[in-house]
Each structure stands twice: as C-alpha cells, then as structure tokens.
Amino acid sequence: MATVQPIVNSHLSELDEDVFHHFGFTTKSFDFKEKFGDVKFVCVCGSSGRIHNFAISMAKLAGLALPVENIAGSHARFVLYKVDHILFADHGMGIPSALIMLHEVTKLLHYAGCKDVLFIRLGTSGGLGVKPGTIVLSDRCVNTKLEPYNELCILGKPVRRQTIVDLNTVNELKKLSENLSLECSVVVGGTIAANDFYEEQGRLDGSICTFSKEEKLAFLQSAYEHGIRNMEMEGTAITSHCYLTGHRAILVCVTAVNRLEGDQITISTDEFTLFAQRPGQLVGEYLKRNNGIIVR
C-alpha cells in the first residue's frame, strides 16, 4: 500500500528548471504531463540491455512499431523507454546507483502528476535453499541485519527508512504464475538487499574474507530459517523510496545460484541469459492483463 501522505520535496518548486543529470534531460526538454502523465507502471532492472529487451517485448505485445525510443539523452547514465502506460529504466548495480535512478524517476512522476505508480524490479539474485532458475516474489525486503529498513547517512546522521512491499500484487503474481506454463518454480519469500556482492552476502571468494565457512553457513542458514529465499543489492532502496514518495513496489528476481551450496555462479552463459528472461515472462503477462499496454 502506498503512503497516505507521500513526501514531496518543497525545494523543487523553487527551481526554474530541474536538471535530470543522469537521464540527460530537463523539465524544459518536453511537457512532462503530456509525455508521462499516463504512466501506471515503472519496470526497472540493473542491466540497460536487459531492460531494453523487455521494453521491446512489451512493444511487440502491444503491436507497436520498433525500435523503441530511448528518451534519455545521448550521454545519460541511465536509459529510459516508454511503452503505453509503462516506463522502463535501468538502475545499475547496488543501492547507491538505484537511489539515483529512483530520485529522478519519482521526480519525473511528480512533475507528470502520476500517483500510486507500481514499481517492479526484475532482476537476478542469489537463492537460499532454492535451485537456480527459480523466481522469487519478495514478501518483504530486509538489510543484512534482517531488519526491514534501508539505512542511509544524511548530513552526518543515520537515517532508517522502512521497506514496504505491495503484498496484494505479490499475491496476484503468485496466482497468475500457477495458471501459466512457466518452465520454473515460483516461490514467495523474503529478500536480503546487501551493500556488496562479496562480504555482506557472506561469500568466501572475494579478495577479502574475515570469516570462516562455518560462520558463513550459520548466517545463511539463519536467514533461510527466517524465511529469506534470495539475496540481491537494490531491494531496500526501491521498497523504501517508493513507499516514501507515495508509490508501490515489488521485487521479482530469478536465482542464479543456491548460496547454501556455493558462492560462485557456475551455470552457463546461455542458462544465465535464459533464467534472466523468466521474471519478464511473468511480469509481462501481468502487465498485459492489468492494462499496462494497449493491444492493437
């Protein structure tokens, strides 16, 4: 559920022109309400190539001509596509990069007058007790202390922001998955968002490791017993920022490894590519059924 009183930055009204540095445009580049005022969904993932492919697949479903235009500027850090009522953007890797994207996309929605938009992260992750290729629908997102907060340091002071997942949509996706012929399992469980790929996720194969294999397994087993089924690096940022700005968020991630069995991703490149498409297959059907696109 979105917040009743979303936070709006009052300083924005003082700007004559707001520069979206990481998307390569400004509030004077086009009419935001005309261009983005009908947005109901925002789909994001770490890879610019993967989100582009997903935008193409939705454009094809809608019967639109290709290519899909990248709205972002030629020297932008992120990409941005729009297909009917859906925005598509990449967020890079990790919470800091994801927050930059989130600030600029939620500002875009503010200027466009869009409210209660559903953000959907489609990603890859490390699984806990589930085999590679499994889709995990997050019913909560926690930090590595297993707390439902994203932690920041603002003006030198610690700030904890609550993470909120839209459970109604999670349940809808789970029911939908049971009626589709997906070539994988779909589970509902908790997600850890770490600040790092190696140490915070308890990997033994980084350039620095200060814990034993036994300590690692104890941490992962404890997380599993608390209902955690995967680990990634952006979820707490997405679920907390969207909640504060009056939007909803869900995480739909496929697993590339079972961390209870090993640290390194040993599936083939072809398998990884195939697995990475699975969240889009489920989410794409959901968007089609919920008026994300106009089928021509």
Instruction: Quickly list DSSP for 14-57.
Output: G-SS-EETTTTEETTSS-HHHHHTT--EEEEES-HHHHHHHHHH
CA–CA distance, 234 with 19 (Å, rounded to integer): 24
- Judge whether 77 is annotated as a binding position: yes
pLDDT at 3: 46
- Judge whether 202 is annotated as a binding position: yes
- Judge whether 73 is annotated as a binding position: no
- Judge whether 46 is annotated as a binding position: yes
- Judge whether 126 is annotated as a binding position: yes
CA–CA distance, 220 with 129 (Å, rounded to integer): 9
Phi, psi of 295 (to 5 degrees): -75, 120
On the 0-12 / 13-18 / 19+ scale of CB atoms within 10 A, 200 is middle
pLDDT at 196: 97
- Judge whether 161 is annotated as a binding position: no
3-state helix, strand, coil in the chain (%, to 5): 35, 25, 45
pLDDT at 4: 47
Query: Which pTM does this prediction carry?
Result: 0.97
- Judge whether 255 is annotated as a binding position: no
Considering the domain delimited by 17-289, tell me its CATH architecture: 3-Layer(aba) Sandwich (3.40)
- Judge whether 235 is annotated as a binding position: no
- Judge whether 207 is annotated as a binding position: no
Provide the residue-wise pLDDT of the chain in tens; the chain has 296 residues. 544 468 889 999 999 999 999 999 999 999 999 999 999 999 999 999 999 999 999 999 999 999 999 999 999 999 999 999 999 999 999 999 999 999 999 999 999 999 999 999 999 999 999 999 999 999 999 999 999 999 999 999 999 999 999 999 999 999 999 999 999 999 999 999 999 999 999 999 999 999 999 999 999 999 999 999 999 999 999 999 999 999 999 999 999 999 999 999 999 999 999 999 999 999 999 999 999 999 99
CA–CA distance, 23 with 72 (Å, rounded to integer): 5
pLDDT at 7: 81
